[in-house]
Structure 1
Amino acid sequence: MNASSLRRSRAALAGGLAVSSVVLLSGTAFAHVSVQPQGDAAKGGYATVNFKVPNERDNASTVKLEVTLPTDTPMASVMPQPVPGWNVTVAKAKLAKPLEVHGKKITEAPSKITWTAAGSKIGPGQFQQFPVSMGQLPENADKLVFKALQTYDNKEVVRWIEEPEDGAPEPETPAPVLTLSAAKDDHHGGGAATGAGTKSDDKGHDDGAGDAKETTAAAGSSDTTARVLGVVGILVGAAGVAFGVLAGRRRSA
């Protein structure tokens, strides 16, 4: 291999590495199933949260999401918001120790939420949010871990069940984790903290209507930024390849 060919090969390799590294970084920016609160998720209160599900595959679509609710800190109220094109069911389980909520003894609590595609899918390069109102949030925990299963239409199942540990590297398939803030005096949690545009009933339930558009817009903006960075990286890498080839041709000429 002569000197000009060697220079062209090096330029092409550098451009290819630039493209692949930026694409990989932009992909991991929104790759995991996660849970995000609308407003505040305070201990002892009620909150509306979004389960955000991105599609990680280029040749398959997500058609099902199963979220297991914590059994050591059960919640008496779990109400999913309808999502067009998706069916949702909430399974319940008997409690080893009954809960007392607003003077009532609760002997069973929601244990799993399942969303199944019914005319809609999460296609490649897309994500979907599944809002849920839940409470009362536990007063004796700093976080809630929701283990999740993501099913694709090619029958592949991704198990987001590994619990992240403080100070340790992030697991390959981390479970969604909801961090709880300090308890509010009124124990309304997210319902009292969301402000104008959000309605709360006398028990502190938050319907999340006022914040849903803002949350969706913010999430969309984050994903758009990641994709724009990926496109820019591809263009920069391609320009590097072209420059290397042209430079090699000029030298050989």
Structure 2
Amino acid sequence: MRNDYYCVIFSPTSICRRGAVMAASVVGLVLMSAGSAGAHIEVFTDAPVQAGTGPVTLHFMAESESQTVGIVSVKTQLPEGIAPGDVALASGPEGWALTPTADGFELGGPPVAPGVDAEYSVTVALLPADSTELPFKTLQRYADGREDAWIELPSDAAPEPQMPAPVLTVTPAAPGAATPSAPTADETATSGSADTAAPVEASQSTDEESNAGTIALVAGLLVAVAIGAGVWFWRARRSS
């Protein structure tokens, strides 16, 4: 009876099967966690831009996390130095309209199709001259009332936040450039576009680093499970 028990519990086939189940469970949990943190909102430009220049068109992509309901709106807090009145809608989902708020803008309308990202663009009259990192903290809302707050900024305690705010990186302003106080739309229209400088650091690089870290973590967990199964089998054979 004892030998039969060990044959069932500690046989190589049984151990391998148990190890595979454990590994699959670990991988599933890791990938589920990575997926929830991976979805986000991105902001980028068509060409390199420099602080203190404008007008500049910013493109946003709000990734969908639902396969059953669509995105209905986004509400964005503008970085310091950009006034709500200096932002205009360039393009967006059909039927969506932009409304200025006290500290930014809200863009919304009929829900996009479930599982489809919301892509939209706004034109900013002039970028601040005193900053090269421009965060656009955004609330993303779905047709069922769900709201995702993409408002977290990296810190020493959390260099890769779970709900990161979209951040636009630009090159430093030209020497002597300063952010003027609330230029009017007419002034902005006649000012034209300024020269552009070095490339923008794409926000995708952060995603690639995060994905690489996830893959390394999964590989390490698989190795640990395999080693644990081997040690278990070796001890079982000795005790039998």
| Distance verdict in 2 for CA 1:132–1:21, change over 3 Å | same
3-state SS in 1 of match to 2:44: strand
Where in structure 1 are there 5+ consecutive unaligned residues?
94-110, 188-200, 207-214, 238-253
Q: Which amino acid aligns with 2:46?
A: Q
Q: Give me the whole-angstrom Cα distance separating, in 1, the residues matched to 2:147 and 2:101.
A: 23
Q: Deviations over 1:174-213 (max 9, x none)?
A: 222222212258x8xxxxxxxxxxxxx752359xxxxxxx
1:121 partnered with 2:117: no
Q: Which protein is richer in helix relative to its size?
A: 2
8 Å CA contact 1:54–1:122 kept in 2: the answer is: no
Q: Which residue of 1 aligns with 2:170?
A: 180
8, 12, 28: which one pairs with 2:17?
Answer: 8
| TM-score in terms of structure 2 length | 0.60
| Distance verdict in 2 for CA 1:173–1:84, change over 3 Å | closer
- CA shift, 1:42, in A, is 0.9
Aligned ranges 1:205-216 → 2 under 5 Å: 205=193
- CA shift, 1:173, in A, is 1.7
| TM-score in terms of structure 1 length | 0.58
43, 51, 60: which one pairs with 1:51?
Answer: 60
81, 91, 96: which one pairs with 1:87?
Answer: 96
| Distance verdict in 2 for CA 1:140–1:202, change over 3 Å | same
Q: Which residue of 2 aligns with 1:62?
A: 71
3-state SS in 2 of match to 1:131: strand
Q: Deviations over 1:140-168 (max 9, x none)?
A: 12222222111112211112222323684
36, 40, 44: which one pairs with 2:48?
Answer: 40
1:203 partnered with 2:191: yes
Q: Give me the whole-angstrom Cα distance separating, in 1, the residues matched to 2:72 and 2:86.
A: 26
Higher RCO (Cα < 8 Å, 6 or more apart) = 1
| Distance verdict in 2 for CA 1:159–1:28, change over 3 Å | closer
| Distance verdict in 2 for CA 1:133–1:166, change over 3 Å | farther
Q: Give me the whole-angstrom Cα distance separating, in 1, the residues matched to 2:113 and 2:154.
A: 26
Where in structure 2 are there 5+ consecutive unaligned residues?
1-7, 178-188, 195-201, 223-240
| Distance verdict in 2 for CA 1:174–1:22, change over 3 Å | closer
Q: Which residue of 1 aligns with 2:5?
A: none
Q: Give me the whole-angstrom Cα distance separating, in 2, the residues matched to 1:163 and 1:11.
A: 38
Q: Give me the whole-angstrom Cα distance separating, in 1, the residues matched to 2:108 and 2:59.
A: 16
Q: Which residue of 2 aligns with 1:112?
A: 104
Identity %: 25
| Distance verdict in 2 for CA 1:90–1:166, change over 3 Å | farther
Q: Deviations over 1:22-58 (max 9, x none)?
A: 5654x36851122112212211102211121001234
126, 139, 143: which one pairs with 1:149?
Answer: 139
Per mean C-alpha deviation after superposition, the further-off stretch among 59-68 and 167-176 is 167-176
Q: If you compute each CA radius of gyration, which structure gives the higher value, 1 or 2? A: 2
Q: Which amino acid aligns with 1:48?
A: T
Q: Give me the whole-angstrom Cα distance separating, in 2, the residues matched to 1:22 and 1:171.
A: 17
3-state SS in 2 of match to 1:81: strand
Q: Which amino acid aligns with 1:14?
A: A
3-state SS in 1 of match to 2:112: coil
